[in-house]
Amino acid sequence: MIGIVFAMREELDEFIKLVDNIKEEKIYDLTFYKCNLFNKELVLVESDVGKVNAARTTQILIDKMNPKYIFNVGVAGSISDKVNVLDIVVSDKLVQHDFDITAFNHVKGYIPNVGTYMETDKYLLDISKSVNVDTFVHIGTIASGDIFITEKNMSSKINTKFNALCVEMEGASIAQVCTLSNIPYLVIRSISDSPNRSNNKITYEEFLEKSSKIVSNYLTEIIKNI
């Protein structure tokens, strides 16, 4: 079984259009959608935004559904001049940019028993590199934190500190849970806005649906090849 975690309903709605044989299962306040795609069993779930929600949902997914792989897909903000709105970013590693125990002589982003960067699964990453789509795909670091970033100065700092391509609010916490549970994972984001250029709430809302559709189509091509 392949597990897929979405932060928002809009992201899940675009992907669920592409699957068959949908069956719902309620666990706590979460709805899990068991379904099929290319003769593979999937389970989809919306976590809601933020690292705690994402981590909690991922652990429940692991404990109750026993997935072989976990994907986190959705939208993100570009913090690199090389990455534009509607491009795709695939994680080779993730970092929590707001995790700070530098007072104890650790670098920013360092998490005890985990490290600073969490590397994604090589098998899934290699499959993502082989997929052909009509959009630009970037491989690199995705930074996560409990902040919707609109300030150019903050986005520039995160880009410089961690060499990150984009920023969002869930991926690295999902990576942490998967790492600790020994579950292969991959985080994929479509760019909906850009703090370095014209990011604002209007830009984000304008491109949310289109970005969600792009990343959903990209994920289906990866699943086809697993």
Three-state SS at 66: coil
Q: Which of 55, 84, 72 is nearest to 121 (CA)?
A: 72
Catalytic residues: 11, 193
Task: Count the neighbouring beta carbons within 10 Å of the beta carbon of residue 52.
Answer: 13
Query: Using an 8 Å Cβ cutoff, are 15 and 73 in contact?
Result: yes
Identify whether the C-beta of residue 76 lies closer than 8 Å to the C-beta of residue 89. Answer: yes
Residue 175, CA distances (Å) to 133, 138, 153, 204 in order: 25, 19, 26, 24
Q: Using an 8 Å Cβ cutoff, are 53 and 146 in contact?
A: no
In three-state secondary structure terms, 122 is helix
Q: Return the DSSP state at 105.
A: T
In whole angstroms, how large is the CA radius of gyration of the chain? 16
The DSSP result for 177-204, as a single string, is HHHHHT--EEEEEEEEE-TTTT--HHHH
CA dihedral sign, ordered 41, 171, 211, 125: negative
